[in-house]
Amino acid sequence: MKAVVFALRSFGRELRSGEVVVLLAAVGLAVGALTAVGFLTDRIGKAVARQANEVLAADLRLRSQEPVPSEWSELAAEYGLDTAETLAFPSVVFAGDASALSTIKVVSEQYPLRGAVRVADQMFGEQREVDGIPEPGEVWADGTLLARVGADVGDMLSVGEIDLRVSAVLTYRPDQSIGFASLAPSLLMNIGDIERSGLIGEGSRVSYALLVAGDAQAVTDFNDAIESELPDSVRIRSQEESSERAYNAADRAQRFLSLTAIISLLLSAVAVAMSARRFAHKRMDTVALMKSLGATQRFVIAVALVQLVLLGIIGVLIGSIVGYAAEEILSRILADLFAGELPNPGLRPVVLASGSAMVLLLGFALPSLIQLRNTPPLRVLRHDAMPPAPSRLLVVGLSLAAVAALLYRSVGDARMLLVLIGGILVIAAALYLVGRALVAVIGRFRSGVGVAWRYGLANVARRGRDSAVQVVAFGLGLTVLLLLTLVRTDLLEGWRQTLDADAPNHFLINVQPHELESVGALFENNGIPAPDFTPLVRARMTLINGESVKDREYPNEDGRWLANREANLSWTAEMSSSNELLAGEWWPADYDGPPLVSIEEDAAENAGLSIGDTLSYFVAGRDIEAEIASIRKINWDSFQPNFFFVLSPGALDGMPTTYISGLKIEDEQKSMLIDLVRAHPSISVIDLGAILQQVRGIIEKASVAVQAVFVFTLAAGIAVLFAAVQSTIDERRFESAMLRALGARRRTVFSGVMAEFAALGMAAGILAAAGASILAYVVAVQLFKLPYEFSPLLWVVGLTAGVFVVCISGFFAARGAVNSAPVDVLRGTAG
């Protein structure tokens, strides 16, 4: 209790000391950066996830072959969730004597809960978003459907027993499928018209769905509450299961944001460690005096710990306020980019930032505090009397482990944590070794240069271990700054380029073999190159290595679903450009041997398949057995026609075959699609423009968010540089005073200090460029699956930035030491 009272009484005086201000600023900046990054990451992550949920038109979808019980909606309402009902079934639509098969989509008033329906005033015309659904007595029809029956906007369509007016052309609905099985064009209908249409009766094949949306936690709670009560026939789909392309883009966006959050924390750790080291060092004289007056080691440590915790609390409060205010400003700016208000953030960023800062503060300051208890009372008379240095490895290691655990709970990406923390530790070790080597080399080569350089290089050599530690701090700060400036831009650009500007925006499906020539000619007559057609055969897998697919054990349910569903098979002589061979060999172009099959990597993993396994398919009354010859990785972002299973040429000869094609059609060329579907009514045209726009939107918005978050990470990096300079500020102040007292000019002393920083910055810059290059390659290839090319510019910028940034940081931090009056320093009244 005495220690607590003494710590509180002396705390006000301690706050006025320079090193405490530096430590408080480091903690406050760490918490501010982490809080801002955490809040922004949390809110933008929710917004991106909400946008990705557009592919379900909801956050959660419950689908059944039976009518949706009212109890489901009532339970959702109890959790404060919005709901909408949909029905989907095939039916023939008539316009006079013309008819066509259509997918009737019947929706209730609140549809869609996520995303927006888009319509046009004419077929393949300009799209616009609409708020609401067709009025009773009206429908919105797909342009392909209207072309098939020769109708247009304003005409009447017979749907079951009623006639409904076409009030708009349906161009996009959020939950529309782009799969190859979606052959029938859509017609959107108000649920109020379904009963009098007479379309649903006993034995009708209807897919019912309840759409649910609202607060993420409420959706999770509702899911947990209803999941155990649902019959096996009901399937729940969430964002992760909806659109692989949109979800992959959203997931990658979240990982980019998480990357900045992790790096901010690691930089904060370095800043706090450097500041805490000086904090403890400055306490040594006070501790020596206390011990000479009878204070025990326990009392000394208790006082220091209480003051450290108080500093942490103040830093957490200041940082949280600053971080929240900064995030609020940024979120208002970014809200326009997300076409609406960002979701409210949770409290987890505050808890994570506060917990991490306190763990960092105690963990990295504790070794120095432990050293305080061994401070000899003799230091009152001899300031060179130092306590033995403790082993920092255990305490700092435990601190890093605790912070890693906190980050894992927040980010949930163990691989990213391992890569970044491991990479930072390796770079830090390399920097320290280079720093020690630099000290040894400079000690030999400092002769033959000017006075300022001789003084600066002598300082580097004389400080020895401290110079090496500064190289580590400067190098880590520069490494991260380079990683998040030049490399960040490269990573984001690489991500954008995964979605080719010439990616197909339309699919042609169900093209019959006899239509290939005439369809190609139609495109060429309209000035569009004839598309490449890919064959498609519907089949069902029956055996794997002679064992029934129904009885076989699978690594997971996705594998069982893949093996037991109806499969889309194709064959080709050459592997698609959007595919990459991971294992095995591709068959020769002139291969005419037994059937071989190439399988996609995730499908192989989920189904437990490997090269050499045999797959048996039942196709049109025939059994076909094929051996797995290779495993492929598919770039689904290419939007090219791709298949889980691709067979060798000749394997499917004589089987019922249709063709598909992906192609890009400009807006001014879309009118020819009307001629296409009228000339070939069996062909379905699927517009991928909305899906492409969604994925591109996620990429662009996430890129802007990363740029905004970078501001806080940049501040943390500057704090590291400033703390590194401050760690030796007392020595510099004393040295400057002595030199000036002996007649040296202030300009000469200051030039020597700048020469020292230039030498340290040069070494740190070179190592930072190397570290940033290697770490960027690992991050790009291993974490984000993106291409990365080493840039010579990074080395030029690294070396230049090392000298310039470190010298600038040193100038602002050290000028006070050089400008201090020598008499004040020698009397002990300065600083």
Q: Give pLDDT tens digits for 15-53.
A: 665 566 667 776 776 677 667 767 766 666 666 666 666
Identify the pLDDT of residue 181.
42
Q: Rounded CA gap, 240 and 59, in Å? A: 10
Q: Are residues 559 and 631 located together in one domain of the fold?
A: yes
Count of CB atoms situated within 10 Å of the CB of 383:
13
pLDDT at 680: 78
Quick check: is 234 in a domain? Answer: no
For the cut 60, the answer to whether the pLDDT of residue 340 exceeds it is no
> Pairing between strand 138-142 and 162-172?
parallel
| Residue carrying the six token digits 């200041």 | 318
**What pLDDT shows up at residue 599?**
93
Cβ atoms of residues 29 and 321 within 8 Å = no
Angle between helices 465-482 and 746-778 (to 10 degrees): 50
Instruction: Check: CB of residue 574 under 8 Å from CB of residue 606.
Output: no
Give residue 372's pLDDT: 66
Task: Dump pLDDT digits (tens) for 51-84.
Answer: 666 667 788 888 887 888 888 888 888 889 999 9
Residue 637 lies in a domain: yes
The DSSP secondary-structure symbol of 133 reads -
Residue 446's pLDDT is 54
What integer pLDDT is reported at residue 495 of this predicted model? 56
Q: What is the pLDDT of residues 535-573, one digit of tens each?
A: 988 888 999 998 998 888 888 877 888 888 788 899 898
Is residue 152's pLDDT more than 80? yes
Band (156; pLDDT cuts 50, 70, 90): very high
315 and 458 together in one domain: no
155 and 204 assigned to the same domain = yes
Domain boundary among 213, 237, 268: 213
pLDDT at 632: 92
- Angle CA 59–64–66, to nearest 5: 140
Give the position of tokens 């990363």. 706
Give residue 221's pLDDT.
Answer: 86
Tell me which of 383, 412, 441 is where a domain ends.
412
678 occurs within a structural domain: no
Three-point CA angle 808, 809, 813, nearest 5° = 120
- Output the pLDDT for position 180: 43
Token pair for residue 702?
């996430």
What is the band of 412 on the pLDDT scale with cuts at 50, 70, 90? low
pLDDT at 345: 63
Candidates 378, 290, 282; CA nearest to 3 is 290
Q: Are residues 42 and 165 part of one domain?
A: no
Question: Do 28 and 322 touch, CB atoms closer than 8 A?
Answer: yes
Per-residue pLDDT of 472-528, as tens digits, reads 777 777 777 777 665 556 656 665 565 566 677 777 877 888 888 888 888 888 888
**CA–CA distance, 425 with 416 (Å, rounded to integer):** 14
| Among candidate residues 189, 213, 237, the one where a domain is terminated | 213
3-state SS assignment for residue 105: strand
Q: Which domain holds residue 370?
A: 1-54+250-412
pLDDT score of 400: 67
CA 179, chain centre distance (Å): 26
Q: Is residue 243 part of a domain?
A: no
Judge whether residue 635 has pLDDT over 70: yes
Judgement on whether residues 544 and 659 belong to the same structural domain of the protein: yes
Query: Is residue 87 domain-shared with residue 205, that is, in the same domain?
Result: yes
Instruction: Say what the pLDDT of residue 824 is.
Output: 56
More confident residue, 79 or 750: 79
Q: Tokens 């974490």 label which residue?
A: 783
- Which residue matches tokens 């690294």? 798
What share of the chain has pLDDT > 70, as a percent? Answer: 63
261 with 404, same domain: the answer is yes
> Does residue 278 belong to any structural domain of this protein?
yes
Three-state SS at 101: strand
Mean pLDDT of 78-99: 87
Same domain, 299 and 353: yes
- Tell me the average pLDDT across 721-749: 68
pLDDT at 178: 47
569 and 640: one domain? yes
Q: What is the pLDDT of residues 603-618, one digit of tens each?
A: 899 889 999 999 999 9
Give CA–CA dist 375/721, Å, rounded: 29
CA distance 238 to 55: 10
C-alpha to C-alpha distance for 85 and 78, rounded to whole angstroms:
17
Q: What is the mean pLDDT of residues 279-295?
A: 69
Contacts of 145 (CB under 8 A, 6+ apart): 93, 100, 102, 185, 186, 187
Mean pLDDT taken over the chain: 75
Instruction: Give every CB contact of residue 270 below 8 A, 6+ residues apart in sequence.
Output: 473, 476, 477, 720, 723
Asked if pLDDT for residue 11 goes beyond 50, the answer is yes
∠ CA(42), CA(44), CA(46), 5° rounding?
70
Collapsing DSSP to helix, strand or coil, 581 comes out as strand
- Determine contact, residues 831/281, Cβ cutoff 8 Å: no
In a domain, 650, yes or no: yes
Q: In this structure, how many other beta carbons lie within 10 angstroms of the beta carbon of residue 498? A: 20
Residue with the bigger pLDDT between 415 and 623: it is: 623
| pLDDT given at position 455 | 61
**In contact, 400 and 305? CB cutoff 8 Å:** no
* pLDDT at site 241: 46
Q: Tell me what the mean pLDDT of segment 786-801 comes to.
A: 76
Q: Which two tokens stand for residue 599?
A: 């399988």
User: Average of pLDDT values for 456-477?
Assistant: 69
Res. 183: pLDDT tops 80: no
Mean pLDDT of 260-283: 70
Band of residue 393 on the pLDDT scale cut at 50, 70, 90: low
Query: Chain-centre distance of CA 515, in angstroms?
Result: 44
Tally of domains within the chain: 4
Residues of the chain above pLDDT 90, percent: 8
Which one, of 243, 169, 245, 185, lies nearest residue 685 by Cα?
Answer: 185
Predicted confidence band of residue 179 (pLDDT cuts 50, 70, 90): very low
Shortest CA distance to 166 belongs to which of 189, 126, 192, 138? 138
Above 50 in pLDDT, residue 735?
Answer: yes
Measuring CA to CA, how many Å separate 533 from each of 509, 530, 536, 642, 662?
10, 9, 10, 12, 8
Residues 407 and 261 in one domain: yes
Task: Return the sign of the alpha-carbon dihedral for residues 559, 563, 564, 567.
Answer: positive
The pair of three-digit structure tokens given for residue 150, joined into one six-digit string: 């020769």
Asked if residue 448 has pLDDT above 60, the reply is: no
pLDDT at residue 723, as a whole number: 67
Reported as a single tens digit per residue, the pLDDT across 116-138 is 888 888 876 777 888 889 999 99
Give the closest residue to 432 by CA, choosing from 393, 400, 465: 465
pLDDT tens sequence across 220-234? 888 888 877 777 667
Least trusted range by pLDDT, from 158-167, 395-404, 631-640, 673-682: 395-404
Contact (CB, 8 A) for 648 and 599: no
Instruction: Select, from the ranges 336-350, 452-466, 518-532, 580-594, the one with the highest average predicted confidence (pLDDT).
Output: 580-594
Two structure tokens written together for 216: 């993420």
- In this structure, is residue 334 part of a structural domain? yes
- Average pLDDT, integer, range 265-288: 70
pLDDT number for residue 493: 64
Mean pLDDT of 361-378: 67
Residue 627 has pLDDT above 90, yes or no: yes
Q: Are residues 711 and 801 in the same domain?
A: yes
- Three-class SS state of 173: coil
List residues bridging with 468 in a β-sheet.
none
> Pick the residue with more confidence: 663 or 29?
663
Determine the Cα–Cα distance for residues 371 and 394; give it in Å rounded to an integer.
Answer: 14
Q: Is residue 573 a contact partner of residue 650, using CB atoms and an 8 Å limit? A: no
Q: Residue 376 falls within a domain, yes or no?
A: yes
Residues 167 and 282 in one domain: no
Contacts of residue 334, Cβ cutoff 8 Å, sequence gap at least 6: 40, 44, 342, 701, 704, 705, 708
What is the mean pLDDT of the segment spanning 205-234?
A: 80
